[in-house]
Amino acid sequence: MRFLSIWLLTLTLLSNCGSFDPVSKNILKYRGPEITQILVDKSQRKMYLMNGNKTIKKFKIDLGFSPKGHKEKQGDGRTPEGLYFIDRQNYHSKYFLSMGISYPNAKDTVRANSMGIDPGGDIFIHGGPRYKGEYGKRDWTAGCISVSDKNMLSIYSMVKVGTPILIKP
């Protein structure tokens, strides 16, 4: 089983040079229980993929470079807190796969507008960057949730667009 996982990861990394997409070709087909929600605990640096109240998978995460508190504005380095949804998947991300989080929601936008600031956006769950720069440091993103490339491959195959994600402080 470990050999198969390594083989699939290698195949995926090699495929980045061409147009072959192992996820869309169903090579990485998840056959377990449906993931009905994602729970992120920022203080514990953990992300849980859930089916109802049952944890299916747990992952270690990194956050934005200024992780305490709710994201308020563009460039603050914070990861949002609250209820959002996975709103897109991007196989051709500048990071190793990515899944968009629906930040800012209506409440975030109203709050930012009342303060006269830009709430920011483009918040994702993603693997490491294709360039190595800040990667490897704790809480290195601009506000996203980062996991290892191997874990991102699993998450990408398990989670569907529309899945709710609750991000707790």
**Overall fold of domain 34-168:** L,D-transpeptidase catalytic domain-like (2.40.440)
pLDDT at res. 20: 44
Predicted local confidence at residue 17, as pLDDT: 38
* Predicted pLDDT at 122: 92
Instruction: Write out the two tokens for 71.
Output: 């994201």
Q: Over the chain, what is the mean pLDDT?
A: 84
**d(C-alpha 27, C-alpha 62), whole Å:** 28
Q: What pLDDT was estimated at residue 137?
A: 67
pLDDT the model gives residue 163: 98
- What is the CB-side half-sphere exposure of residue 27 using CA atoms within 13 A? 15
* Structural contact between residues 107 and 9, judged by C-beta atoms closer than 8 angstroms: no
Contact status, residue 125 vs residue 141, Cβ threshold 8 Å: no
Domain locations in the chain?
34-168
Are 40 and 46 contacting, i.e. CB atoms less than 8 angstroms apart?
yes
Phi then psi for residue 32, to 5 deg, are: -90, -165
Count of other CB atoms within 10 angstroms of residue 106: 7
Q: Which residues of the chain have pLDDT under 70?
A: 1-27, 130-137
Tokens of 60: 């270690």
Q: Is 65 exposed, middle or buried (0-12, 13-18, 19+ CB in 10 A)?
A: middle
